[in-house]
Every structure is written in structure tokens, then in C-alpha cells.
Amino acid sequence: MERLPKVALPAIIAAIVLIILLAKSAVTIGSGEAGVLYKTFDNGVVTDQPPLGEGFHVIAPWNEVIVYEVRQQELFEKMKVLSSNGLEIQIDASAWYEPVYNNLGKLHQTLGENYLQRVIQPAIRSAARSVVGRYTPEQLYSSKRDAIQDEIFEETKKILSKQHVQLNEVLVRDVTLPNTIKDAIERKLKQEQESLEYEFRLVTAAKEAEKVIIEAEGKAESNRILSASLTDKILQDKGIDATMRLAESPNSKIIVIGSGDSGLPIILGNQ
């Protein structure tokens, strides 16, 4: 086997070194990701420029790029917290979050890639303990779920406001009470519902009775006014009018004899 020319060996070594340098210099940022540039010989993490966006980038081979996901992400937490009267409540909650894009360098410099465990989880747990501790189990079970969800979101957001993390939403998926407390609350709510239904029936019956009384009083007043207006003269005139209509009827045979006590004719049919 012939020996390689002396010039060939350095060329091969140079090609290998070039390939290694190109491999170290080429960086591809995937979809939904961004890169933080770390300059080994120039003050470390770059914080005064936007992060590297999606696509292909070439950097100095001695520098480094740390890739972060910048999409919205979800944290699911099961937390055991205490209510206002000291009972243990389990809260199942989700937090939607994402790093602040333009502050990605500062996030990496101050918190690092484990920022979820370092700030987000402690923040939402602290907020949940604080908020749930203001309410009774009954309030948590029935009417205050939306309220505690909003309050946990606001308190967590306040804690994270200077941590280069954006909190988008907190969702309280479930509130689990001890079975004995849950059963007692359900019994109480059922009794309250039955009481409200009974009160409604009483109010309805009272209104119906009031309506009947008003109608009866109106009818009595109408009769009183009518009776007061019916003088003997008016009754006599009405009797004469009725007699005339009967006399004019083709189907009636009228015989008038004498007069009644009131001076009205006595009408006899065809008998």
C-alpha cells in the first residue's frame, strides 16, 4: 500500500476540523421555540437583544444556544390546602403560562431552564393556600368556585409579574371535600331548597287569596252602587220597556189585565 502524500494528511485534518466547526456553528430553532445566545468570551448570556427565532442560524463555534419552548404551556396541580375553619380541601387546578419572549435571555440568566419548578409552581401553590383560606367548605363547594379561580389567578399573576413569565389563565377544575363534610353540605342545601319551595307555595297561596278577596270586594261594591241607583221610578220605566218589547214580539201573546202593586201591567203568557 502506497503511503499518502505528505500534503494529504494536513488536508484531511483541516477538513475534519472544518466539519466540526460548521457543526458547532449551525443551529436550527424549531417551531414554537426560541434560542438564548450564550457568548463564551463576551459577557455570557445575551440579554439586550431579542432571542433567536425559528429557523437556521450560524453562530461562532465557541458560543452556545439554549433553546426554550415559547408556546403556551400547561401546569396541572393537585394541591391540599386548608379552608377558613381548618378543614383540608383538595384543589385540582391548571395554569396556562409562557415565557415573556423578549425577556427570554433574562429568564435564562435569573431562573434557568427549570423556571417552572423554581417560580411558577411555588407561586400558584402559595396563591391557592392564601385564597382558599378565606372561605368555608360550603362556599367552596357551592357558590365560590369562580371567585377563588379569579383570585388565585390574580395573586399568582402578581407574584410572577417580575419573573419574566406570563400567566394567561388559572382554571380550578375540581374542589374535593371530605365525604362527611360534602354529605352534610348537600343535606343542608336540600333542606334550604325545600324551605324556599315551601315559602314560594305560601306566597302564591296568599296572593291567590288576596285576589279572591279583591274580586269579592269589587263585586260587592258594584252591587251596592247599582242598588243605590235603582229607584222605584227607574224600575217602573225598565218594567214598561220590557213589557213593550214582549208585546212587540211575534212569538208572544200578551194579555194585560189590571196592574201590579207597583203600577206595572201583569203579563200572562199563552196558557
**Does residue 39 have a pLDDT over 60?**
yes
pTM of the model: 0.61
Contact 156, 170 (CB under 8 A): yes
> What is the pLDDT at residue 76?
93
Ranking 62-66, 121-125, 218-222, 228-232 by mean pLDDT, the lowest is 228-232
3, part of any domain: no
List Cβ neighbours of 148 (8 Å cut-off, separation of 6 or more): 131, 132, 135, 140, 172
Percent of the chain with pLDDT over 90: 33
Domain count, the chain: 4
Q: Are residues 245 and 162 in the same domain?
A: no
Contact 266, 260 (CB under 8 A): yes
Which among 16, 36, 69 is the end of a domain?
A: 69
**Does residue 115 have a pLDDT over 50?**
yes
**Does residue 2 have a pLDDT over 60?**
no
Domain that holds residue 141: 73-177
Query: How sure is the predictor about 87, in pLDDT bands with cuts at 50, 70 and 90?
Result: confident
139, part of any domain: yes
